[in-house]
A and B are shown apart, each in its own frame.
Chain A
């Protein structure tokens, strides 16, 4: 069965520092993977997606993620954090039947000045 593990429920960085949010997945079929962001009091917004094309995926707001099959990982990165990046981030994988998303438990990113 598909599953997602996000390492670290809270990540704190300084403004301008590298952002790295970790996601490992388990899947019995080639996965479709997603990163979503949730700003306070808002719904989830798609940041980027991997659907078996290029392994390095670029998303909105300067974020990108690299699919590494050998490591079963899909970590999210941004070279330079901005205060506006403070939010909760969710990694997700499509379930085996292709019916719904399975979410990780989320990582809260804090950015300090």
Chain B
């Protein structure tokens, strides 16, 4: 089984809809992250969390919110989706300030 899982893997939604992307990990890591990937731009950090009570904004947090329901679960929400939020979203985990382990990604399309 994969160490970092993301659901759904693909989602098409309409402008204005609320959507939640979920991430679970079995690695026992304390830190979790959400990134978005756009062609030609690499990955950019949306939010990160060092533990259940510690949530921090990343480079591009506007229009997004997160919830750390447990050490192993970290959800990303788009309160009112817009077309320029169409992207590939990755969840990642790490133990301390070392390498991060990535999930398979969620491809989100907002029409």
Contacts and interface: CB of A to CB of B under 8 A. Distances in A.
A85 B101 CA distance: 20
A44 B48 contact: no
Interface in B70-111: 90, 92, 97-105
Q: Kindly state the interface size class of chain A when it binds its partner.
A: 20 to 34
Given A43-B105, A99-B56, A34 B40 contact: no
Interface residues of B, number: 23
A49 interface: yes
Contact of B102 (A32, A44, A51, A106): A44
Contacts of B50: 99
A9 B99 contact: no
A42 B101 CA distance: 13
Contacts of A98: 97
B42 A103 contact: yes
Contacts of B33: 100
A49 B96 CA distance: 15
Contacts of B102: 36, 43-45
B47 to A, nearest CB: 10
